[in-house]
Amino acid sequence: MQFNIPQTEQKRVVIIGAGFAGLNLARKLARQKKQYQVVLIDKNNYHQFQPLFYQVAMAGLEPSSIVFPLRKMFQRNKNVFVRVTQVQSVNPETRVITTEIGELSYDYLVIAIGADTNWYGNEQVRANAIPMKSVSEALFLRNAIFEDYERAVTAENTERRQRYLDIVIVGGGPTGVEVAGALAEMKHLIIPKDYHDLDRDEINIHLVHGNERVLNTMSPEASAASERFLRELGVNLHLDQVVKTYDGETVTMDNGTTMKADKVIWAAGIVGNKINGLPSDAISRGNRIIVNEFNQVKGLDNVFALGDIALQTNEEPFPAGHPQVAQVAIQQAELLANNLQKIIDTKGTLVPFKYKDLGSMATIGRHRAVVDLPFWKFQGAFAWFTWLFVHLFALIGSKNKVFVFLNWVWNYFSYDQSLRLVIKPWRRQKSE
């Protein structure tokens, strides 16, 4: 197999990863048809809108509403080539990457491979807990939740039924609190309708967080409001506690307490995806790649890193690196597109990256959200509508925006999501 990409006089920019950083950079460079040949590589043939994974997992949205096909996006850009494969290694000396479908040379390489679930070296937890860093993992969680509700209806005893019903969420960041809030709303609004032979009061939703307050990266006001919202919804908070083990049946925490649950959702942190071949001194904690103020990888002038995987430590007030959020990735991609133009034209001075913090937000169910803006912090119903507005317009594709908007309007007035399906993947049967 091979890439089948023509050799031209254009500068070839290879982008690994089609997340917020990689995709936005490719879109910017695609407009410069005469100067760039852009090769966008990803393990999937679509872009995923990560902030709404939890709504897919909670049956609020279909996965097709939050993904966008890469080839559709670049239908009119003949200078952009999309390849679906896994990158195995990089050779900066020869300017070649090695993938599952062969090797490819580059003039400029951009690494935007993002991050994955951080298991903190706990292989037992990794083998039994459910992550949520992709659409496929969100669908797996959706299936697990509703399959267990079906099992609970016919459970032979109370102990078994309780294990099917109870859910433990590990991690009190935005993903954790949003999942907890959505599960609590499902408990109150959906279970009585679909599972009238289950007692919703038997369902226990536990949120375990290793800090004394949830959303500890946001303001104290946002943290306090989030905790209040979660408790109002009936979520059991276990703050300043750490999960030590989970064997598929029992969660054991560092203080010795245990909980029985068949489902543990792991949202306790992220770690950078690995790529082989970069200088060892360019790799820092959490597998993040050290970059300078122009996002150039340490020691390499023509290799760049963007987004969650990049670690720039020379900007105040971010001495430990920028937050691993979408806005950082988008802003880095926009700046690099302009700087690449200056590098190729050998004109102008490169502009250093300075992150403009536009704020952060999280939602904890209907009319419950928190928003931290640089000039204003607010919580409650208005924050919730703000969260909806921002995420709706951040989606890629007009069709996706319309579908998500219609789903949200229907859910708002009906108090009833309509996507509670257990769709199991088909597997070819092996002949005996």
DSSP 218-257: S-HHHHHHHHHHHHHTT-EEEET--EEEE-SSEEEETTS-
Work out the average pLDDT over 347-375.
93
Nearest to 125 by CA among 259, 260, 264, 269: 264
> How many residues comprise the chain?
432
List the beta bridge partners of residue 376.
373
User: In angstroms, rounded to a whole number, what is the distance separating the alpha carbons of residues 46 and 57?
Assistant: 18
**CA 405 to each of CA 73, 119, 204, 401: distance values in angstroms, whole numbers, following the listed order:** 21, 35, 30, 6
Nearest to 270 by CA among 240, 311, 237: 311
Instruction: Decide if pLDDT at 1 tops 80.
Output: no
Domains 11-117+271-345 and 123-268 share a fold: yes
Whole-number pLDDT of residue 240: 95
Convert the pLDDT of each residue in 79-91 to its tens digit: 999 999 999 999 9
Mean pLDDT of the 1-20 span: 90
The DSSP annotation for 285-337 comes to GGGPEEB-TT-BBTT-TTEEE-GGGEE--SBTTBTT---SSHHHHHHHHHHHH
DSSP 8-class letter at 37: E
Structure-token match 């226990």, residue found: 204
How does pLDDT run across 213-249, given as a tens digit for each residue?
A: 999 999 999 999 999 999 999 999 999 999 999 999 9
| Distance from C-alpha of 336 to C-alpha of 351, rounded to nearest angstrom | 9
- The predicted model gives 340-353 an average pLDDT of 89
Identify the pLDDT of residue 309.
Answer: 96
- pLDDT above 70: percentage of residues in the chain: 98
Question: 123-268: what fold?
Answer: FAD/NAD(P)-binding domain (3.50.50)
Token pair 């070839």 in the structure block, residue: 12
- Please give the structure tokens belonging to residue 46: 């679509």
* Per-residue DSSP letter, 130: B
Question: What are the pLDDT digits (tens) for 391-415?
Answer: 999 998 888 999 999 889 988 888 7
- Give the residue-averaged pLDDT of 46-52: 94
Domain ranges of the chain: 11-117+271-345, 123-268
Q: Report CA-CA distances (Å) from 311 to 23, 278, 321, 336, 369.
A: 19, 14, 5, 15, 30
Q: 98 in helix, strand or coil? A: strand
Poorest-pLDDT segment among 163-167, 260-264, 379-383, 410-414: 410-414
Strand partners, 283: 289
Q: What pLDDT does 429 receive? A: 64
pLDDT at residue 348 greater than cutoff 90: no
Tell me the pTM.
0.93
pLDDT at 69: 95
> C-alpha angle 365/384/118, rounded to 5°?
60
Q: What is the pLDDT of residue 33?
A: 75
Q: Quick one: pLDDT band at residue 422, thresholds 50, 70, 90?
A: confident
Pairing of strands 108-111, 303-305: parallel
Q: How many helices (H) and strands (E) does the chain have?
A: 12, 24
Minimal CA–CA distance to 69: which of 48, 46, 49? 46
Mean pLDDT, all residues of the chain: 92
Read off the pLDDT of residues 107-165 as tens digits, 9 standing for 90 and up: 999 999 999 999 999 999 999 999 999 999 999 999 999 999 999 999 888 888 999 99
Please say if the pLDDT value at position 168 is more than 80: yes
State mean pLDDT over 293-302.
Answer: 94
Q: What is the CATH number of domain 11-117+271-345?
A: 3.50.50.60
Summarize pLDDT for 263-293 with one digit per residue, the tens. Answer: 999 999 899 999 999 999 999 999 999 999 9
The single-letter DSSP state of residue 10 is: S
User: Of 58, 49, 51, whose CA–CA distance to 416 is shortest?
Assistant: 58
Nearest Cα to Cα of residue 266 among 121, 120, 128, 129? 129
State residue 431's pLDDT score. 59
Confidence at 197, pLDDT banded by 50, 70, 90? confident
